[in-house]
């Protein structure tokens, strides 16, 4: 049997995969329709006719292809045409192993939900022609600034381990309300868990699992620029901690109040005032100190 290999990306987008368990399905499409009830049979037929459903050896699966349990298939997602997010990423550094990118506000890092082509990963795969590109870490779609990517699959885990083991120093900048009564610098700790509200984290009682160092950089009227250093890496940690301190980051549509999703009618005039400014770490291959800094600047 041919060795299983993931099909190459198409226009920067890699395929999804699904394992075929034992069952009584006669054809692959019968299984897919039952396994993905939100996707109609007509859509799977269209994908198969386009050659967007493949077996583990990269052969096209047709509408009449027989179901074979204990195998794996790959399929390419199909989304309506996406409106372009009108901001460009900037590649700050590239070598044989790493790519450092300055991400604009509003651009997701990886495909999810309604975003596929208009994501940083897919844009970079197309522009750099590197199909093996993968993010070392992620930042929110609303956050601007540094994102690092690995190129070589065999060294990817070395770099991603740096983030898992907290061996990376990261500094963010944020613009938020000024609190003259809060002594800074300070370290804020709390326990953050997923809340019942979609996409939102909440503070709960218990042993802290999120820690942020906060310092004051400058004050302009009722607002201030803060330096934030996340010691841990919980989802939305910086946004949740600033809101908990009564200093929600300017233009935050999740903390402290969750606003409805704007959908396709995104208001690009009010970016979240949060910037991933610097990243530094000791390279696990060269053992040299790596330091990257965003060229972007948050305005009041």
Distance, CA of 238 to CA of 221 (rounded, Å): 22
pLDDT in tens, 63-76: 999 999 999 999 98
* Residues contacting 206, CB < 8 A, separation 6+: 191
Domain ranges of the chain: 16-75, 90-256+264-293
Apex 55 CA angle, 54 and 59, nearest 5:
70
C-alpha pair distances (Å), 290 with each of 155, 280, 293: 16, 5, 10
pLDDT in tens, 215-273: 999 999 999 999 999 998 899 999 999 999 999 999 999 999 988 776 656 789 999 99
Q: What is the pLDDT of residue 77?
A: 79
Q: What topology is assigned to 16-75 in CATH?
A: 3.10.290
Question: Which of residues 87 and 4 earns the better pLDDT score?
Answer: 87
Task: Identify the three-state secondary structure at position 155.
Answer: helix
Q: What is the pLDDT of residue 150?
A: 96
pLDDT band of residue 1 (cuts 50, 70, 90) is very low
**Residues 91-113, mean pLDDT to the nearest whole number:** 94
What percentage of the chain reaches a pLDDT higher than 90?
78
Mean pLDDT score of the chain = 91
Q: What is the pLDDT of residue 89?
A: 97
- Tokens matching residue 50: 């386009």
Q: What topology is assigned to 90-256+264-293 in CATH?
A: Pseudouridine synthase (3.30.2350)
pLDDT in tens, 140-192: 999 999 999 999 999 999 999 998 898 999 999 999 999 999 999 999 999 99
Q: What is the pLDDT of residue 170?
A: 96
Q: What is the pLDDT of residue 235?
A: 92
Q: Cβ distance 142 to 291 under 8 Å? A: no
What percentage of the chain reaches a pLDDT higher than 70?
96
């Amino acid at each position: 049997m041919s060795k299983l290999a993931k099909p190459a990306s198409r226009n920067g987008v890699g395929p999804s995969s699904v394992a075929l368990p034992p069952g009584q399905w006669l054809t692959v499409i019968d299984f897919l329709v039952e396994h993905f009830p939100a996707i109609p049979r007509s859509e799977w037929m269209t994908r198969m006719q386009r050659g967007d459903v493949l077996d583990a050896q990269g052969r096209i699966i047709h509408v009449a292809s027989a179901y074979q349990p204990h195998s794996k298939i790959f399929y390419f997602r199909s989304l309506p045409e996406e409106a372009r997010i009108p901001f460009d990423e900037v590649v700050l550094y590239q070598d044989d192993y790493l790519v450092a990118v300055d991400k604009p506000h509003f651009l997701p890092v990886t495909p999810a939900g309604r975003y596929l082509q208009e994501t940083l990963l897919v844009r970079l795969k197309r522009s750099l022609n590197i199909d093996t590109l993968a993010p070392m870490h992620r930042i929110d779609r609303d956050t601007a600034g540094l994102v690092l990517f690995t190129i070589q699959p065999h060294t990817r885990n070395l770099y991603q381990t740096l983030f898992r083991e907290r061996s990376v120093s990261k500094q963010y900048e944020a613009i938020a309300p000024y609190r003259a009564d809060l002594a800074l610098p300070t370290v804020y700790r709390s326990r953050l868990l997923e809340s019942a509200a979609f996409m939102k984290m909440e503070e709960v009682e218990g042993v802290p699992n999120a820690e942020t160092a906060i310092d004051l950089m400058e004050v302009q009227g009722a607002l201030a620029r803060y330096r934030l250093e996340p010691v841990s890496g919980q989802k939305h940690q910086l946004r949740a901690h600033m809101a908990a301190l009564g200093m929600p980051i300017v233009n935050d549509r999740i903390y402290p109040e969750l606003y409805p999703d704007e959908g396709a009618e995104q208001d690009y005039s009010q970016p979240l005032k949060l910037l991933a400014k610097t990243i530094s770490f000791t390279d696990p291959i060269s053992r040299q100190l790596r330091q990257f800094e965003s060229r972007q600047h948050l305005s009041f």
